[in-house]
Every structure is written in C-alpha cells, then in structure tokens.
C-alpha cells in the first residue's frame, strides 16, 4: 500500500533531514490541498506527523488535524507527541483511523499495551525508529530521534505481540530524508520473522524503483513524504507500481 505523508510544524508542511529540527525544509503548500491531491490520486491511507507536538506535546496541532480529517474522506493515521490516553481518545473521536505511538511505546510499554487492548489493534500503530549500529543491532530511538531508547526492535515487537500488535511503522533513521533508498533488507527480515504484523516501511524513498524494491521486500505499506513533495513522482505513479489492497 502507498501511504503518502506530510510532516507539520506550526501549520506548515516541512521535511526534516534524519529527524533533525535544525535541518528543516519548508514547503509553500496548503496541508489540506496537498492531502486532498493525494486522496484524489487514489491513496487509501494518509499519514500525518505533528512534529511540533513531537517536540513539545503541549503544542500539539490538534485543531489543524481536526480540520484535515474533516476535509478528507480517506483513512488517516496521525503521530507526534502522544503522551496520554486522553490524546489517543481525542484523535480517534476526531475521526482519525489510527494513532501512531512512538517514544511512549519504548518508555512506557505497559501503558501503550493497555491502549492496544482497550481500543483494538486497528486503532494503534507503533512507530519504531531505529539506529542500526556496527554490530547490526536495531536500537529504537525516542523523543523525535533526539535520544536513544536503549531497547532493541525485536524485544519491543515481542513484547507488543502479546497484546495483538498488528501495525508497525519502521524507519531506518540513517535513510530518512536522504532519498538514498529504503533499507529493504530490514523490511525483508521483519516480514519474514513477524508475518502476522503489517509493516510500514519509511525513509529514503526517491524513485519508483525504490517503491518497487520495498514492495518486493514484502513490507505491507510504504510511507512516502519528501519524494512526493519535490515531485520525483506522483502518488498515481507509485500506486501503479504497487496497487493499493
């Protein structure tokens, strides 16, 4: 599945390089118009990241997200700055299909597992952003990639599988925003090891060849942000490589 994405800071569409707020590119685009374009081209799921909220949960862009959900008919998943159950409930009540949980899934697994149990496996997606070291260990980062989490990807997945984890978004931080292609070996490994989880690939997509390579890794979906914003290809062209299920 092709999952077009936009990142938002203070209401503006942006991209960061490897999660670094100091390396920000701002696009002169209307968030709603951009997402509507993706929807009109056939996207079945859209991905929104509240980067303002990820950095400061007190400044989550909830009003804007509400406007975006109201202006779209496509399913939407939203992440960034989720720290408590009230925020999960708030997004779901706005009509968000799936809430993406990142840092908290590493820091407070018992809490996030309780949300999976309460709201169901379709309502929660884990965002597991990894730094892969020289030993090949996949260490999950937290706090907008500003600090290391100290837990391995495999240990977290094993823990969450006990409560029915179904959706997980995995980003190789070294690839994000680089347009150097995805880490397809990583997604191949995850799809083989955990076939009952729907894996969303993210980071590094630059071309339609990259889209095909992720498809062939057996990932279930692919998040595409920067490549669409800089018009390397269109959503329609990406879907032609990987028809939405």
22-36 per-position pLDDT tens digit: 888 999 999 999 999
What pLDDT is stored for residue 94 in this prediction? 96
Residue 63 CA to residue 195 CA, distance in Å, equals 37
What pLDDT is stored for residue 149 in this prediction? 57
pLDDT averaged over the chain?
Answer: 91
149-165 per-position pLDDT tens digit: 578 999 999 999 999 99
Residue 221 CA to residue 47 CA, distance in Å, equals 11
What pLDDT is stored for residue 47 in this prediction? 98
Q: One of 10, 50, 56, 129 is an active-site residue; which one?
A: 129
pTM of the shown model: 0.92
Strands 138-142 and 124-132: antiparallel
What pLDDT is stored for residue 181 in this prediction? 83
What pLDDT is stored for residue 139 in this prediction? 87
107-121 per-position pLDDT tens digit: 999 999 999 999 999
What pLDDT is stored for residue 204 in this prediction? 85
What pLDDT is stored for residue 21 in this prediction? 81
What pLDDT is stored for residue 143 in this prediction? 59
Furthest CA-CA distance within the chain: 46
HEC string for 41-107: CCCCEEEEEEHHHHHCHHHCCHHHHHHHHHCCCCEEEEECCCCCHHHHHHHHHHCCCEEEECHHHHH
For residue 46, what is the domain's CATH number?
3.20.20.70
Q: One of 7, 50, 172, 176 is an active-site residue; which one?
A: 7
Residue 66 CA to residue 134 CA, distance in Å, equals 42
Query: Could you tell me the residue range of the domain that residue 84 belongs to?
Result: 2-241
Q: Which residues contact 118 (CB under 8 A, 6 or more apart)?
A: none
Which sign does the torsion angle of CA 88, 93, 96, 97 carry? positive
What pLDDT is stored for residue 145 in this prediction? 46
Which conformational region is residue 242 in: left (phi greater than 0), alpha (psi within -120 to 50 degrees), or beta?
beta
Residue 54 CA to residue 143 CA, distance in Å, equals 7
What pLDDT is stored for residue 119 in this prediction? 98
Q: Domain count for the chain, please give it.
A: 1
Let me know if 129 is a catalytic residue.
Answer: yes
Please name which of 119, 100, 97 lies closest in space to residue 164, comparing C-alpha atoms: 119
What pLDDT is stored for residue 24 in this prediction? 86
Q: Are 61 and 52 in contact (CB under 8 A)?
A: yes
Segments of the chain with pLDDT less than 50:
145-146
């Amino acid at each position: 599945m092709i999952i077009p994405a936009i990142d938002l800071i203070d209401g503006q569409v942006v991209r960061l390089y490897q999660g670094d707020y100091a390396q920000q590119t701002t696009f002169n685009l209307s968030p709603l118009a951009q997402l509507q374009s993706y929807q009109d081209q056939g996207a079945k799921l859209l991905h929104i990241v509240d980067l303002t909220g990820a950095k400061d949960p007190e400044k989550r862009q909830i009003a804007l997200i509400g406007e975006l959900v109201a202006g779209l008919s496509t399913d939407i998943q939203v992440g960034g700055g989720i720290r408590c159950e009230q925020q999960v409930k708030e997004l779901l009540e706005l009509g968000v299909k799936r809430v993406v949980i990142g840092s908290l899934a590493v820091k407070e697994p018992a809490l996030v597992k309780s949300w999976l149990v309460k709201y169901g496996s379709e309502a929660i997606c884990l965002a597991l952003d990894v730094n892969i070291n020289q030993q090949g260990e996949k260490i999950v980062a937290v706090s907008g990639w500003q600090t290391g989490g100290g837990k391995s990807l495999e240990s977290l997945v094993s823990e969450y599988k006990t409560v029915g984890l179904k959706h997980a978004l995995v980003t190789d931080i070294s690839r994000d925003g680089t347009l150097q292609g995805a880490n397809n070996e990583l997604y191949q490994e995850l799809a083989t090891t955990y076939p009952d989880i729907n894996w969303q690939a993210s980071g590094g997509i630059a071309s339609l060849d990259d889209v095909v390579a992720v498809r062939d890794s057996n990932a279930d979906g692919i998040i595409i942000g920067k490549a669409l914003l800089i018009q390397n290809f269109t959503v329609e062209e990406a879907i032609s490589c990987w028809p939405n299920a």
